[in-house]
């Protein structure tokens, strides 16, 4: 329930999901949320490729690795804050 409410809140009230310009450049930086298979697929949500889709592609395997690392860093950060 909390996750569903967070998703609705972020879509309607927060501007964090809007692309922002990087400081000193004209490049737009998309903001994303890392999630897993329980989240519905959205343009701002990064999820792992399923195992069957990433088997033959090194790019998809590499992206899965990077997303997994980012999720671990975030989980560890929240674990430290919780103490």
Domain ranges of the chain: 48-83
pLDDT digits (tens, 9 = 90+) for 34-52: 888 887 777 778 888 887 7
Which neighbouring-strand residues pair with 45? 33
How far does CA 38 lie from the centroid of its chain? 13
Site of tokens 């999901």: 17
What pLDDT score does 65 carry?
92
Q: In the structure, what pLDDT confidence band is assigned to residue 69 with cuts at 50, 70 and 90?
A: very high
> pLDDT at residue 12 above 70?
no
Q: What separation in angstroms does the CA of 18 have from each of 14, 28, 44, 48?
A: 9, 10, 9, 22
pTM of this prediction? 0.63
DSSP string, 3-69: HHHHHHHHHHT--TTS-EEPTTSS-EE---EE--TTSPP-TTEE-PPPHHHHTT-HHHHHHHHHHHH
């Amino acid at each position: 329930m909390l996750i569903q409410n967070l998703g609705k809140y972020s879509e309607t009230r927060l501007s964090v999901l809007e692309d922002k310009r990087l400081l000193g450049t004209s490049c737009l930086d998309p903001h994303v949320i890392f999630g897993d298979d329980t989240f519905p697929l959205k343009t701002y949500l990064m999820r792992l490729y399923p195992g069957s889709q990433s088997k033959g592609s090194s790019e998809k395997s590499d992206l899965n690795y990077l997303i997994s690392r980012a999720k671990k860093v975030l989980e560890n950060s929240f674990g430290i804050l919780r103490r």
